[in-house]
């Protein structure tokens, strides 16, 4: 275990288990915030939530190769462990768990966690290996640390629902806490991938949130789902997005597409600005009496 000023950097499962056992002996509540590093204000909001609800907070940092497809950005994914440690120390985090590749995927590793249905639509159509990679690594992180609470952002809304489902289905005794998306002043959701946007693309990017917001408002006012989805897609293309992977209205829990708003729903989109794929989503509240 490497001890910097106030934070311990742990790289192995036995060390992590020793640490969590010691905290448990003291009846302390433990939170886990899984990340792939390159921490920004979005992650910091997750960490703050964890600090509010638990006595001890573990932040994990592991750039998980199995959730990247062949042509995705694994090789250029930002990595700055020293910068991340500085941020976490300032926030008063107790442990950074940064396992090595061998610790997470030792020779002969052969298991995959696959959540059906929830993973099949939306991003699952365009990133076929992504959610099995996420589900497997998150299951491992939960079982390695056995936290009382694990905190994830609503920015990756499909991921959040998948993790809620896997924890429930596999009886992992953890509360999955979802935190609202942190945005720039102009509405752009914070994401490590925003760094790939050119200055011109950065100016166009907030349109994604504005269009989602407009569609959610229309849905709440009783406008028709199909027409609004098509209009939303057209508007993104008009605003400079080069390709829209999807623009859909789904049930907030099951993520099944809906044609009328009868219960809480979510409008979700993924679209490209040049080579950068942005995702975002917005809640849709069902009107009482509908």
Quote the least distance from Cβ 33 to ligand PAF, whole Å.
9
Residue 43 annotated in active site: yes
Please state, in angstroms and rounded to a whole number, the distance separating the CA atoms of residues 73 and 101. Answer: 18
H or E element, residue 175: strand 175-179
Classified as helix, coil or strand, 33 is strand
When the beta carbons of 156 and 248 are compared against ligand PAF, the nearer one is 156
Give the closest residue to 160 by CA, choosing from 46, 236, 276, 44. 46
Give the closest residue to 234 by CA, choosing from 213, 214, 211, 250. 211
Considering only 156, 177, 235, 248, the residue that binds ligand PAF (CB under 6 A) is 156
Q: Residue 154, interface with ligand PAF (CB under 6 A)?
A: no
When the beta carbons of 271 and 279 are compared against ligand PAF, the nearer one is 279
When the beta carbons of 119 and 159 are compared against ligand PAF, the nearer one is 159
Q: CA end-to-end span of the chain, whole Å?
A: 56
Q: Residue 137, interface with ligand PAF (CB under 6 A)?
A: yes
Quote the least distance from Cβ 133 to ligand PAF, whole Å.
7
Q: Residue 119, interface with ligand PAF (CB under 6 A)?
A: no
Q: Give bridge partners of residue 278 from the DSSP assignment.
A: 271
Considering only 134, 176, 190, 244, the residue that binds ligand PAF (CB under 6 A) is 134
Q: Residue 42, interface with ligand PAF (CB under 6 A)?
A: no
| Options 40, 43, 79, 94, the catalytic residue | 43
List binders of ligand PAF among 52-111 (CB under 6 A): 64, 67
Q: Residue 36, interface with ligand PAF (CB under 6 A)?
A: yes
The stretch near ligand PAF (CB under 6 A) out of 31-39, 118-126, 207-215, 232-240 is: 31-39
- Count of beta carbons in the 10 Å neighbourhood of residue 30: 23
When the beta carbons of 163 and 284 are compared against ligand PAF, the nearer one is 163
When the beta carbons of 36 and 263 are compared against ligand PAF, the nearer one is 36
- Contacts of 271-275 with CB under 8 Å at 24 or more apart are 271/208, 271/236, 271/241, 271/243, 271/244, 271/245, 271/247, 272/241, 272/242, 272/243, 272/244, 272/245, 273/197, 273/201, 273/204, 273/205, 273/240, 273/241, 273/242, 274/197, 274/198, 274/201, 274/242, 275/196
Please state, in angstroms and rounded to a whole number, the distance separating the CA atoms of residues 178 and 222. Answer: 27
Dihedral angle sign, alpha carbons of residues 89, 91, 93, 99: negative
The stretch near ligand PAF (CB under 6 A) out of 33-41, 105-113, 177-185, 265-273 is: 33-41
Q: Residue 35, interface with ligand PAF (CB under 6 A)?
A: yes
Q: Residue 279, interface with ligand PAF (CB under 6 A)?
A: no
Binding footprint of ligand PAF on the chain (CB under 6 A): 34-36, 64, 67, 134, 137-138, 156, 159
List active site positions: 43
């Amino acid at each position: 275990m490497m001890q910097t000023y106030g934070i311990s950097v742990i790289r192995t499962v036995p060390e992590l288990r020793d640490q969590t056992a010691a905290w448990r002996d003291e009846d302390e509540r433990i939170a886990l915030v899984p990340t792939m590093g390159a921490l920004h204000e979005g992650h910091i909001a997750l960490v703050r939530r964890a600090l509010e609800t638990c006595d001890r907070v573990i932040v994990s940092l592991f750039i998980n190769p199995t959730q990247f497809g062949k042509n995705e950005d694994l090789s250029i994914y930002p990595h700055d462990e020293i910068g991340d440690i500085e941020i976490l120390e300032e926030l008063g985090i107790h442990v950074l768990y940064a396992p090595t590749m061998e610790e997470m995927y030792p020779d002969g590793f052969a298991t995959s966690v696959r959540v059906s249905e929830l993973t099949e639509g939306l991003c699952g159509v365009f990133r076929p290996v992504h959610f099995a990679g996420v589900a497997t690594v998150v299951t491992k992180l939960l079982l390695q640390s056995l936290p009382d609470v694990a905190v994830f952002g609503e920015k990756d809304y499909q991921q959040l629902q998948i993790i809620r489902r896997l924890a429930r289905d596999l009886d992992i005794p953890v509360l999955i806490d979802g935190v609202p998306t942190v945005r720039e002043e102009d509405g752009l959701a914070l994401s490590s991938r925003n760094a790939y946007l050119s200055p011109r693309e950065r100016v166009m990017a907030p349109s994604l949130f504005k269009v989602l917001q407009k569609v959610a408002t229309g849905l709440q006012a009783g406008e028709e789902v199909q027409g609004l989805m098509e209009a939303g897609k057209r508007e993104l293309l008009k605003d400079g997005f080069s390709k829209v992977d999807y623009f859909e209205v789904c049930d907030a829990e099951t993520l099944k597409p809906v044609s009328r708003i009868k219960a809480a729903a979510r409008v979700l989109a993924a679209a490209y600005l040049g080579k950068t794929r942005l995702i975002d989503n917005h809640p849709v509240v069902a009107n009482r009496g509908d």
